[in-house]
Amino acid sequence: MSEPAVFRIEGVRKSFGAIPVLKGVDLDLRPGAVTVLMGANGAGKSTLVRILSGVYGRDAGAMTLSGESFEPATPAEAIRAGVVTVHQNINDGVVADLDVATNLTLDRLNGRRVRLFFNPRRVRREAAAVAARMGLAIDLAANINDLTLADRQMVAIARAMAHEPQVLILDEPTSSLSSAEADRLFDLVDRLRARGVAILYISHRMSDIRRLADSIVSLRDGRIAGRFEGPELDYEGAVNAMLGQKVSEGSVSVREAGAPVFSVRGLTLQPSSRPFDFDLGDGEIVAVTGLVGVGKTALAETLFGARAPAGGAMNLDGTAYRPTSTAQAITRGVFLVAKDRAENGIVPDFNIAENIGLPFLKRLSRLGISSRAREKSKARGQIEALGIVCRSERDEMQTLSGGNQQKVMVGRWLSEPSRLLILDEPFQGVDIAARRDIGAKLRASATGRATIVFLTELDEAFEVADRILVMSEHTIVGEHRNAAVDVERLLSEIAGHPSKQVSAS
């Protein structure tokens, strides 16, 4: 018989303005068990974690810890009560300019008494005790800045465990770790589980989930969409619940690829990941799908010259392609519509025309002077083609809706001819109408280039693509022509059961 829940969440709701994010979430965490929480972008995972860790208050619902009401007003209150979170950003859990010993005891140093009577020997002694309990074999005198990413992650978790929490929340802890580094983390999680800590583990890496999960909870659109437990966990069922119980194929008229434009051979994104091949042809749109964290953005950035591959070769129009900067990629005709328009895309204080013309100022200039007339003409063309709702091309970006901002970002990279157009989650944060407008424009303008679109939502892939590639664990594990797709096989590949065919062309 399983242990009763130490942490119980019932009917938790949270809205931001008129937008509901959590719509009545129920969740039980049991001592000595790892509960994996899965959810696509926008499902509400981050909001739930912030509520549990005291960053946000909830609008409705109840939370109890060991049978007592749990009402943290701040992260410090959550920690004192026994709920500790290690966030995905490791820098949130360590102080980079301090040594390991000080980091491990930092929270104890916040007390007034300790600040007045600071004792370095005591700090080192207490840090050694924390490290020993956690099996942490790291030089306590080492500066955090000098540690590997994995060791910094271990220090962050050990610091959290110095509070001896009843509940530990780990948010995507292996997202930046190699396989060997992840194994060290798994051993640490096993120790914590053996000590009776209830662990909420947020991840989409199937290798993590198979190694650690006692149960899986799928979150979709602010609600629990599925619960999976027992000796034989239904991984594919959990993925299906996360993505939606019904995945409907689109009605695109699938086109055959034209002449080869871009190819990769033996490409590896991480030293430990499996190499893969694929080809992209003129006029075709290829969607790359998979769970969050499987390497889609890493591949997009590699193609765009924003990061170097670990190995392999790329070829564009019959010649070697290995850009060392995004400027080189743009010069070769490789464009990227980045994932986060707020951080990597728009300039809020610029108007529509200025945002669209920004990467192409040299092309829009004569004798070093930007041509406003050419800039406006280019913007007007994209406003019309994409149906951007605005008064004129002079409207500032911050006055537009999210969907229209996204149309501007896509229009920017459609305003000049390219040989390879890369789009990373181009439909994120837009409504269905805007999504279909963007998809229609991509398909109407596809001739003369190859297009690769990185998507988590399968429905979006079915709506826009001629072919669908599946990524898992930073490699390509499946390929599907977007006609009579074997959805069961596709979902199985997403869940980490690859098909035999891994070369896509």
Measure Cα distances from 265 to 279, 314, 470, 476 in Å: 9, 6, 17, 12
Structure confidence at residue 37 as a pLDDT band (50, 70, 90)? very high
Q: Give phi and psi for 256, each to the nearest 5.
A: -80, 145
Alpha-carbon distance of 425 to 338, in angstroms, equals 8
**Topology (CATH) of 7-243:** Rossmann fold (3.40.50)
Among residues 315, 335, 300, 332, which one has the least CA distance to residue 266?
A: 315
Answer with the residue of higher pLDDT: 352 or 497: 352
Structure confidence at residue 1 as a pLDDT band (50, 70, 90)? very low
Mean pLDDT confidence for 333-344: 79
User: Burial code of 127-160, b = ≥16 C-beta within 10 A, e = fewer?
Assistant: beebbeebebebebeeebeebeebbbbbbbbbbb
Structure confidence at residue 59 as a pLDDT band (50, 70, 90)? very high
115 has pLDDT over 60: no
Answer with the residue of higher pLDDT: 114 or 358: 358
The DSSP symbol for 396 reads: B
Alpha-carbon distance of 130 to 93, in angstroms, equals 16
Angle at 268 between CA 263 and CA 271, to 5 degrees: 165
Cβ atoms of 155 and 173 within 8 Å: the answer is no
Residue pLDDT, tens place only, 158-189: 888 778 889 999 988 876 666 677 787 888 88
Answer with the residue of higher pLDDT: 226 or 339: 226
Percent residues over pLDDT 70 in the chain: 88
Structure confidence at residue 154 as a pLDDT band (50, 70, 90)? confident
By the 10 Å C-beta count (0-12 exposed, 13-18 middle, 19+ buried), 280 is classed as buried
Domain ranges of the chain: 7-243, 260-333+417-504, 346-405
Domains 7-243 and 260-333+417-504 share a fold: yes
261 has pLDDT over 90: yes
Structure confidence at residue 116 as a pLDDT band (50, 70, 90)? very low
What amino acid occupies position 202? I
Among residues 342, 340, 380, 336, which one has the least CA distance to residue 359?
A: 336
- Whole-number average pLDDT of the chain: 85
pLDDT for the residue numbered 264: 97
pLDDT for the residue numbered 114: 47
DSSP code per residue over 377-388: HHHHHHHHHHT-
Mean pLDDT confidence for 249-264: 85
Nearest 10 degrees: CA dihedral of 379, 382, 388, 393?
A: 10
Measure Cα distances from 499 to 3, 162, 473 in Å: 38, 44, 14
Q: How many other C-beta atoms can be found within 10 angstroms of the C-beta atom of residue 2?
A: 12
**The model's pTM:** 0.65
112 has pLDDT over 50: no
501 has pLDDT over 50: no
DSSP code per residue over 6-17: SEEEEEEEEEET
Domain 260-333+417-504, architecture per CATH? 3-Layer(aba) Sandwich (3.40)
458 has pLDDT over 60: yes
- H/E element holding 470? strand 467-472
Window from 39-53, 230-244, 362-376 with minimum mean pLDDT = 362-376
pLDDT for the residue numbered 447: 96
